[in-house]
């Protein structure tokens, strides 16, 4: 939740791609960007066919999209989140 507030609610994107200068809120998002755009490592969701860069991202996608497991709500923007940090 704290990471969500500092990046989404404060709109900070401190991680920049050294190839195209696109910015990201988290290092893992920058890494995934590079994997999907420049290295083309693909994993597919067996439910909807969405292509992602990592097998663990397929698992997270299934939980968030298909199982809709987002029990935590941000008290600023009301967005529902998968995890809560105290």
Which residue is it, tokens 């999907």?
Answer: 36
Within-domain flag for 34: yes
- Average of pLDDT values for 59-67? 85
- Express each pLDDT in 12-39 by its tens digit: 888 999 999 999 988 989 988 887 788 7
Q: Is residue 52 part of a domain?
A: yes
8 pLDDT above the threshold of 70? no
Phi, psi of 25 (to 5 degrees): -75, -30
Mean predicted confidence (pLDDT) in 47-60: 85
- Of 36, 9, 35, 7, nearest to 23 by C-alpha is 7
Which domain, by its residues, includes 57? 11-77
pLDDT of residue 57: 85
* Residue at 85 is within a domain: no
């Amino acid at each position: 939740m704290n990471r969500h507030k500092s990046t989404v609610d404060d709109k900070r994107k401190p991680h920049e791609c050294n190839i195209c200068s696109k910015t990201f809120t988290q290092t893992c998002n920058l890494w995934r960007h590079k994997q999907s755009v420049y290295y083309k490592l693909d994993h597919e969701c067996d439910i909807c066919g969405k292509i992602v860069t990592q097998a663990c991202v397929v698992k997270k996608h299934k939980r968030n999209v298909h199982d809709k497991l987002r029990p935590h709500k941000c008290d600023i923007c009301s967005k529902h989140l998968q995890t809560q940090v105290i």
